[in-house]
Amino acid sequence: MAVIDVNVTSREPFAEGRIFGAVGAYERIDGIFMFAVDPTHEANQGITDLALALRDADGRVRFASDFTLLVPVDPALGNRRLIVDVVNRGRRQVVPTFNLASPNRQGSVDVPVGDGFLFQRGYSVASVGWQSDVYRSDMLLGIDAPIAYENGKLVRGQVVVEIRPDTVQHTRLLANRVHRPYPVVDIADPTARLLVRDWEDGPYEDVPRSHWRFAKESPEGIVPSKEHAYLEPGFQPGKIYHLIYTSEGSPVVGAGLLALRDAPAFLRKASDLSPVTGDFEQIFAYGVSQTGRLLRHFVYLGLNKNENGRQVYDGLLAHVAGARKGEFNSRFAQPSDQSTPGFGHIAPFTDNDVADPFSGITNGVLRKSRTQDVTPRIIYTNSSAEYWRGDASLTHISPDGSTDLDPAPESRIYLFASTQHADARMLPEPGNLDIDGTERAHPPNTIDYRPLLRTALVNLDRWVSEGVEPPPSKHPRLDDCTAVSRSDVLAGLGSIPGLSRPNPGRLWVLREMDMGPEADKGIPQLPTQEGRAYLAFVSAVDSAGNEIAGVRLPDVAVPVATYLGWNPRHSDSGAPEQIIPMQGSSLLFAATREARERTNDPRQALKERYVNREDYVKRVQAEAWRLVADGYLLEEDVETVVANCAAHYDTVVEETA
């Protein structure tokens, strides 16, 4: 057993002892899992640099991970299902998402109860830290990863840090977002390079070494720093910089994957060491965005089989991952990075084996788990944003763009039509930028798709537990002409008032990549050499500008606005011809014909579409119940969906009359 000890730091009643129906009260347990893994074991061979870590007297590599457990006080009253919360950049996500609680961008020590959806059903939740560069705290869960050594010395290697400023900045931390940086070995390193491009796939230019240095601004002036870069003219908004340098002391980043494998495997069966009593019959994992990509990477590496040869996860729910994986198992990896060309952009993109048109290699995300006979059931859910980002269609359309692909029997793929990547309430307000915020040209997409996620979880559970097949995949397809190019959609949107269109030639794409001769070992050669582009498709849109493919909430089927999966950058943030890849837009209809005519809006006004509010609500209810009948929405969430739509109707009447 890879978990060798458990340090419980806190055990207390959850939600002040609130009773969740027949399941009763829950308790919260916080602590640290201690792991020891055999680097020579077959199950661990795919972890980059694990063999280079220090070993204990038994020849094992040790590391430790934070955890939070929410479990019924009486395990007999629970449903014996464990959901592993693959924490996003250290932040707990499962409970606020599925319980429809208010999101918290910065994480929180408290876990919001919301409407109690998970607990009323008896689910247990384990939030497990896995990311080695997170600044661990009560709010953010992480891992104390082992460090790689060669010949008794810290491993050295290349690092690339991406810098995307939204205002003129002179000093930047050598890290993605606000994580722990990889310090430069030599601040005078003449081989270090600062490259800049004007858009995602634009040509690189070298910034002269005399213009920048490893330093930072301070009260004493500009001082040397191994953890910062200083650019004399300033990093310019809208441009993309890649700083490449040599660091040392790479953690075994893939130890986080082992923590996510071995922690739930340990919790499945009761033991004297376990902090919980009772067994779990099924174990699921939920990952969103970064951690949705991580789940794809986890399965691709064949890690759903532990050292004891047993299957770990019965089902996975990977949300807004698109077709990507990530920097989760490479030397000097930065797990929060998703846009820098690297390991997360490499084929395969599909579950089934498919030949890559550029490399000629045939592979699939599920190949290894199928060989091991440990393939979980998987539901992939994406927003429109992952399609407009240029990669989500690669999960179900051939990489050469010629044909729809046969679905994998173990998985389902759903597009949540006309939605954006994240809850709009998690985004900064215009003019109020945070560390990863870019001022947007349009108001954000306000569709709340979380009721669809709740249904996906219930369907996944029934699929695993009872063998009940979920409803069929719903996404854009070539054979019914619902999969089209992004240029076609942009050209067909018409003259919607306030609409800013991006330059189609500067939209994101995935490309073939050459990462050097040691890429198979997880060691990159930087910068990545990019080649030909894979084709990208999005959903066609209707006369209102809303997507016609995928699962259409009543917000989309009975609209009060045009909802887009993309949002251009505001001119104040630079590069207004480019999109903010994970943000969408809401462009409200006019309330009346007169208001529409004043603005030359080609879309029908609200009161041209619907007789009155009562008529609108009835149509929304009909669409919601249609989703229930088709298996994409829970009956209990109809009221929530209708209320959301009614609120949007009222907003249009108030703001556009």
pLDDT tens per residue across span 304-326 = 999 999 999 999 999 999 999 99
Strands 193-197 and 153-154, sheet pairing: unpaired
432: pLDDT strictly greater than 50: no
pLDDT tens per residue across span 510-554 = 999 999 999 999 999 999 999 999 999 999 999 999 999 999 999
As a whole number of angstroms, the distance between CA 118 and CA 434 comes to 31
Q: ∠525-526-529 over CA atoms, to 5°? A: 90
Higher pLDDT, 395 or 102: 395
As a whole number of angstroms, the distance between CA 372 and CA 369 comes to 5
pLDDT tens per residue across span 9-34 = 999 999 999 999 999 999 999 999 99
End-to-end CA distance of the chain: 65
3-class secondary structure, 259: helix
Q: What is the pLDDT of residue 435?
A: 37
The residues near 378 (Cβ < 8 Å, ≥ 6 apart) are 299, 315, 316, 317, 318, 351, 410, 411, 412
pLDDT class of 184 with cuts at 50, 70, 90: very high
| Of 526, 29, 557, 612, residue with least CA distance to 274 | 29
User: Mutual orientation of helices 255-268 and 290-300 as an angle, nearest 10°?
Assistant: 80
91: pLDDT strictly greater than 70: yes
Q: What is the pLDDT of residue 395?
A: 98
pLDDT class of 461 with cuts at 50, 70, 90: very high
Displacement of CA 12 from its chain's centroid (Å):
31
The residues near 339 (Cβ < 8 Å, ≥ 6 apart) are 162, 164, 200, 508, 581
| Of 373, 368, 329, 318, residue with least CA distance to 348 | 368
pLDDT tens per residue across span 547-584 = 999 999 999 999 999 999 999 999 988 999 999 988 99
pLDDT class of 102 with cuts at 50, 70, 90: confident
pLDDT class of 177 with cuts at 50, 70, 90: confident
pLDDT class of 38 with cuts at 50, 70, 90: very high
What is the enclosing helix (H) or strand (E) of 94? helix 94-98
Strands (E) in 387-528, as ranges, are 411-416, 483-484, 511-514
Summary mean pLDDT of the chain: 95
Distances in Å between the alpha carbon of 499 and those of 539, 545, 568, 600, 656? 19, 11, 9, 12, 16
3-state helix, strand, coil in the chain (%, to 5): 25, 25, 50
Q: What is the pLDDT of residue 438?
A: 73
463: pLDDT strictly greater than 60: yes
Q: What is the pLDDT of residue 437?
A: 56
As a whole number of angstroms, the distance between CA 467 and CA 40 comes to 37
Q: Note the pTM of the prediction, 2 decimals.
A: 0.96
430: pLDDT strictly greater than 50: no
As a whole number of angstroms, the distance between CA 647 and CA 645 comes to 5
Average pLDDT over residues 579-607: 94
| Backbone angle region of 301, left / alpha / beta, with phi > 0 → left and psi within -120 to 50 → alpha | alpha
Q: What is the pLDDT of residue 108?
A: 59
pLDDT tens per residue across span 219-236 = 999 999 999 999 999 999
Q: What is the pLDDT of residue 436?
A: 44
450: pLDDT strictly greater than 90: yes
pLDDT tens per residue across span 481-502 = 999 999 999 999 988 999 999 9
Q: What is the pLDDT of residue 138?
A: 87
